[in-house]
Amino acid sequence: MKFNLGEWRMKPGVTTYNCEQIRQVRLSDDGRELSLFVVPYRKEERSMDGPAQQIVISSPQPDMIRLQTVHFKGDRRKYPKFDILDTRVPLQVQEEGNEVTVTSGNTRLVIQKKNPCGFTYYYGSRKLTNIGSRYGSAMLSYISTPEGPYMRGQLQVDVGEKIYGLGERFTPFVRNGQVVDMWNEDGGTSSELSYKNIPFYLSSRNYGVLVNETGPVSFEVCSEAVTKVQFSVPGQRLDFIVIGAPDRKGVLTRYTGLTGRPALPPAWTFGLWLTSSFTTSYDEKTVTEFVDGMAKRDIPLSVFHFDCFWMRENEWCGFDWDTEMFPDVEGMLKRMHDKGLKICVWINPYLGQKCSVFDEAAEKGYLLKKPNGDIWQWDLWQAGLAVVDFTNPEAVEWYKGHLRRLMRQGVDCFKTDFGERIPTDVVYHDGSDPVWMHNYYTYLYNKAVFEVIQEVKGEREACLFARSATVGGQKYPVHWGGDCNSTYVSMSESLRGGLGLCLSGFGFWSHDIGGFEGTAPADLYKRWLAFGLLGSHSRLHGSTSYRVPWLFGEEAVDVCRYFTKLKNTLMPYLYDQAVQTHETGVPMMRAMLLEFDDLGCEDCDRQYMLGDGILVAPVMREDGTVDYYLPQGRWTHLLTGETVEGGGWRKGQYDFFSLPVYVRENTILPVGANEKQTEYDYAQGLTLRLYNLADGTQAERRVCDTHGKTLLTARACRSGDVITLRLSGKTDSVSIQQIGTDCRIRIEQ
């Protein structure tokens, strides 16, 4: 929301009341809250007029400082709250003269009470940011507008500082200069709209900010005020948390410690997923031909996904199979299980009026209603569509009951599509404000589905394939990038969106290989295969046409086989990275700036680190050329073994069986012996590749089993021409391969 007309004037009818003086400071008896009474004037005499702000400062966890400010307390609307772990740690407060210092861990807030009023954040001695001032006023504001009241905060952005995150956005990777509104929409991947709006941003200066509001937060990122991140919400209150850390990974670790760490997906989810695609004509014969065709061509397959048309026309999502197309559901799913496949089916949180369960849901009050008591309906997507009310515990249990029935038939997981088109002219069962519920709805939807899978299949077997999200949604992986086009440009925008999401607390991300809308030409399909199979999760899916590789030529079959098998052999490495993501919140697919404090990495949005050791730069041009950046150090091409020196940009041309995929120096890369499956004994027949260990350096790697428990730990250090390798755990069939160095290896167990 913009309130100014340039530097000097406000928009017509807009009046701003900034923080001018803190007139009272009070620490609670338990030392966990500091209350401030703030007035919008500088005069010293007592006044009877407002408006004033009442601010409460607390620390939900060490190194986090939360600021909640309110104008009028009398708003009795019910607002949904993000599910954060607020332990309210005691504050260290020191008041001396005009200054109050609030400390949590190594993060502190220095408050200047007047002349001028100010709020400055530090991590140790390093300044993070401050609440931006204008002519001595701290821009923490109550604002009166013709549209109603707003609350606003402005945090200073320093010279060269860059802002990232705010969810899965397909606009430029660096958010500086953008207007970003937190409002989930089904908008595809080629506009400013987003399926996953996360009001959290990460600064290149190693701090993060969560605006702790589920409603329509509006960010002006160096746009209305070019030296500030401005965030505003309609109403009378504002709540935000500044998170300090020594580095960018540390920010994400702290943030996900607050909002929830990603669950550990089952190992089978990392294999290749094949879907029926969004097509109207498929049955068991079609599905069997796809599955058997992959096996015949020696392409390992882990999951088969049934998209929308497993149900009858206009009955989405009524949970009933189309028995004309699938007359023997349980038998069919058993036959697919016998082939070693897991089964996923498409669902959404809506009910078409024609489906068999609509009347029951309507009668029992499980659907969102209009203020007059009528069920809210429209004809978009499905005729007479209504929306399940996940604030009603009985509706949640009813919805879960239908999913239990599907899982008893043989379904293993669900693609939780939609959740963005949520109306605001409705009444919720629990009385929640419908505007503030719009984005939060997806959290309740995906939470319910994830929980029922955990209940039926076990905690370690739960997995979604979700499209919409908000803060906390990372706890329920995996998320995919939505409806991208079948173009090179859309491949690029998809990666850009995924990197932004992974800088917003999400650990696992996927996309539709080959693009969703339209049908990719063969060259694009093959390039996207390499990209998609060098990520956390890999799915062949699209609209209007099938995505099996033989429809794109025999070379596409070979490319699909090659990269699928490559990924399977990398599972000892990939699953360790997944466990690390589960433990720390640091994503598997990492923007370069997470791993390297290097100016050259701050704008990189066409390449990424796959875990801590492998760099991937997908080919996004028809001529096969790629521009990519290698940070300082020695890098070895994973596929060719060629070692090059980093420290700048490079350009290369690649065939369909290659791309820039480099292993970082001082990396121990565990490579498995099984190219057919994702679930196997990762330590059996394992090869540990030691890449370019430099003199005086150390490297460490663990190998986990498919439940996340450590099987083997390898620690290597080089001194002169000797590498000492210490192995513990299951080491009976491990072989060692040295790459880029010529040293004597001494093994200790």
| pLDDT tens-place string over residues 591-606 | 999 999 999 999 999 9
* Secondary-structure class of domain 267-388+410-415+461-569 per CATH: alpha beta
Query: Taking residues 653-664, what's their average pLDDT?
Result: 98
- Distance CA(465)–CA(729), nearest Å, equals 34
pLDDT per residue as tens digits for the range 411-426: 999 999 999 999 999 9
Residue 330, pLDDT > 90, answer yes
Task: Tell whether the model's pLDDT for residue 646 goes beyond 90.
Answer: yes
Same fold, 4-249 and 591-664: yes
Question: In CATH, which of 3.40.50.300, 2.40.50.140, 2.60.40.1180, 3.30.2130.10 is domain 591-664?
Answer: 2.60.40.1180
pLDDT in tens, 383-397: 999 999 999 999 999
What does the DSSP 8-state code read for residue 600?
Answer: G
pLDDT band for position 178 (cuts 50, 70, 90): very high
Strand partners, 231: 153, 219
665-749: CATH class: mainly beta
Secondary structure of residue 342 in the 3-state scheme: strand
Question: Are 157 and 175 a contacting pair, CB within 8 Å?
Answer: no
- Residue ranges per structural domain of the chain: 4-249, 267-388+410-415+461-569, 591-664, 665-749
| Residue 483: active-site member | yes
Q: For residue 629, name the pLDDT band (cuts at 50, 70, 90).
A: very high
Q: Please tell me the predicted confidence (pLDDT) of residue 481.
A: 97
* Residue 112 CA, distance from chain mean position: 36
Residues 489 and 511: their CA atoms lie apart, in Å, by 14
Q: Which of 168, 224, 389, 483 is catalytic?
A: 483
CA 445 to CA 454: how far, in whole Å? 15
Q: What's residue 46's pLDDT? A: 73
Question: How confident is the model at residue 136, as a pLDDT?
Answer: 65
Once rounded to an integer, what is the mean pLDDT over residues 741-749? 93
Q: Is residue 726 classed exposed, middle or buried when 0-12, 13-18 and 19+ CB atoms within 10 A define those classes? A: middle
pLDDT of residue 7: 84
Apex CA 619: angle with CA 690 and CA 622, to 5°?
Answer: 155
Q: What is the pLDDT of residue 406?
A: 98
Q: Is the dihedral of CA 165, 167, 173, 174 positive or negative?
A: negative
Q: What is the pLDDT of residues 49-91, one digit of tens each?
A: 779 999 999 999 999 999 999 999 999 999 999 999 999 999 9
The mean per-residue pLDDT over the stretch 680-696 comes to: 97
Q: How far is CA 444 from CA 151, 254, 656, in A?
A: 27, 23, 42
What percentage of the chain reaches a pLDDT higher than 90?
Answer: 96
How far from chain centre, in Å, is Cα 49?
45
Mean pLDDT of the chain: 96
Query: What single letter denotes the amino acid at residue 447?
Result: K
Dist. CA 386–CA 380, nearest whole Å = 10
For residue 135, is pLDDT > 70? no
Copy the structure tokens of residue 603: 């704008």
Q: Of residues 220, 417, 523, 602, which has the active-site annotation?
A: 417
The catalytically annotated residue of 420, 517, 576, 665 is: 420
**Which one, of 575, 563, 570, 511, lies nearest residue 711 by Cα?**
575
For residues 179 and 192, give the distance between their C-alpha atoms in angstroms, rounded to a whole number: 9
Q: What is the pLDDT of residues 266-301, one digit of tens each?
A: 999 999 999 999 986 789 999 999 999 999 999 999
The CATH H-level superfamily of 4-249 is: glycosyl hydrolase (family 31) (2.60.40.1760)
This prediction has a pTM of 0.97
Q: How confident is the model at residue 134 (pLDDT cuts 50, 70, 90)?
A: low
Concerning whether 86 is annotated as a catalytic residue, the answer is: no
pLDDT-derived band at 233, boundaries 50, 70, 90: very high
For range 42-46, the mean pLDDT: 77
pLDDT band at 137 (very low <50, low <70, confident <90, very high): confident
DSSP tag of 581 = H
Closest alpha carbon to 481 in 514, 438, 449, 443: 514
Per-residue pLDDT tens over the stretch 517-527: 999 999 999 99
